[in-house]
Homo-oligomer: A and B are copies of this chain.
Amino acid sequence: MVTMHNFLAVDAGGTSTRAVLVSPSGTCLGYGESGAGNPVSRGFRGAADAVLRASRKALGGSARPVHSATVAMAGASLAQPPGLLLEHLREFNPAQGITIESDLLAVFYSGSYHDAGHALIAGTGAVAARVEGGRLAAVADGAGWLLGDSGSGFWLGREAVRAVAAALDGRGPGTALTEGVLAQLGLQADPAVGASGRTGTLQQLINAVYGFMPVQLSRFAPRVFDVPADPVARDIMDRAAAALAGTLLAVGGGGPGGPLVFGGSVLTKGAPVAAAVVEEVSLRRPGARPVPVLVHDGVAGAAVLALKRHGIAVDAIVFGRIASSLAALRD
């Protein structure tokens, strides 16, 4: 079923959207990025616009129609009729239409060409998936900042600001997080106690934090990684790792069941958290010592999915070609 046409593959994420034009042999020919493409937070039209902009960049000036478009999006979009997105992408005239895939699956395939294994993703949100036969067999968490996302960037940021508030009124121990959080908010310490019975510092912190959308507290997650030796920060990282390990184990992850892929900034930029998740999984499932593959996004996996779904075998050579040609384009 190999054709002369190329495939458009897109990873529409909560922070940015990435598109690649990939040949049937796995050579990435064009790459483009645009803004947030999560239909849950941006709405379906906003997400579709982001997909369109990234795709145009990936195709450059090429007017040649693509064989098909594969778009990886957050779970809830799987229920959307692909016709809506096809309408948005009609200028690429995909002969074989458009396929919406799970963004979790795309992250998994960014780290593996096998059709079974596990993925754990901790960015703004947190979710784990077990993949079987190239499909999502089980998903845990990903329930959003209020109901779940335990150990996510939001969760870390919220724990950081809560720890600072507790330190400021004596409910919790002093912490090196305070300096970083106050500096990020541009606040000066003001230890005078006002009529409310609170210090000026804490009152300013309260006023500043409630000016954010809750999910924006993920912006404070890096402050936890800034001070890894601080006991309060260490405790937050340990609890995040325990929660993430629990999420991974809930989908049956961590056992000898194929590759394990880690994605999202909490795991890819927060090395202590990733290491602690592996440690925790080893403790809770004796004998298992998973070696995770770290991936930064799902665009390579979207390309893998595009090829696989059209009957093209993706082996170590094709997978390596996708990875290396994509890296060259992104440099």
Binding site for B on A (CB under 8 A): 75-76, 78-79, 102, 104, 129, 136-144, 146-148, 150, 158, 161-162, 165-166, 169-172, 193-198, 202, 205-206, 209-210, 214, 217, 246-247, 250-251
Contact = CB atoms under 8 A, between A and B. Distances in A.
A85 to B, nearest CB: 16
A102 B102 CA distance: 52
B171 A247 contact: yes
Copies in the assembly, this chain? 2
A139 B206 contact: no
B195 A78 contact: yes
11 contacts: A78-B195, A137-B197, A139-B169, A139-B196, A140-B169, A143-B202, A147-B161, A147-B162, A148-B166, A169-B250, A214-B214
B196 A76 contact: yes
Nearest to A209: B147
Contact of A147 (B129, B148, B205, B247): B205
Given A148-B165, A161-B147, A196 B78 contact: yes
B146 A158 contact: yes
A76 B195 CA distance: 9
Nearest to A195: B78
A173 to B, nearest CB: 11
A196 B210 CA distance: 32
B146 A75 contact: no
Nearest to A76: B196
Contacts of A78: 195-196
Given A197-B75, A197-B136, A170 B250 contact: yes
